[in-house]
């Protein structure tokens, strides 16, 4: 499971999964230090590769079934992929409450709106 890039606490699977469900990949906030993380561009490709891709491959190439069962199984495959995705998807810090001074990538994007 991914860790917080600020304090190294592990995120819970549910925490990461919810960020996928918050469509277009909402941010994940560390419960421990409050650092906000967002899925990286490559992370989006990974999520797509785990969910949409196997579903499409099954539906277009592997299935001999009728349309409805094909779509049904395709969705199950996409769902199964989404269950794995939180384990392998990389994140970047987008904002930190506490800055630990080692100038991580992503800090430039941190927005300090007061």
| 110 is an interface residue for Zn ion by CB under 5 A | no
CB of residue 20 to Zn ion, shortest distance in Å: 19
* 16, 28, 30, 59: residue in contact with Zn ion (rule CB under 5 A): 30
Residues 6+ positions from 7 with CB-CB distance below 8 Å: 30, 32, 33, 35
* 15, 17, 25, 33: residue in contact with Zn ion (rule CB under 5 A): 33
Question: Taking the chain, what is the end-to-end CA distance rounded to the nearest angstrom?
Answer: 32
Q: What share of the chain is helix, strand, coil (3-state, %, to 5)?
A: 50, 10, 40
> Which stretches of the chain bind Zn ion, using CB under 5 A?
4, 6-7, 9, 30, 32-33, 35
């Amino acid at each position: 499971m991914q860790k917080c890039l600020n304090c190294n606490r592990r995120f819970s699977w549910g925490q990461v999964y919810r960020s996928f469900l918050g469509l277009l990949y909402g941010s994940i906030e560390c419960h421990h230090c409050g650092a906000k993380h967002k899925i990286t561009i490559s992370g989006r490709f990974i999520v797509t590769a785990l969910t949409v891709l196997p579903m499409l491959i099954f539906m277009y190439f592997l299935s001999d079934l009728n349309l409805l069962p094909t779509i049904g199984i395709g969705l199950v495959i996409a769902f199964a992929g989404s269950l794995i995705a939180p384990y392998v998807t990389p994140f970047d810090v987008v904002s930190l409450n506490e800055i630990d001074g080692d100038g991580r990538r992503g800090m430039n994007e941190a927005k300090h709106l007061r």
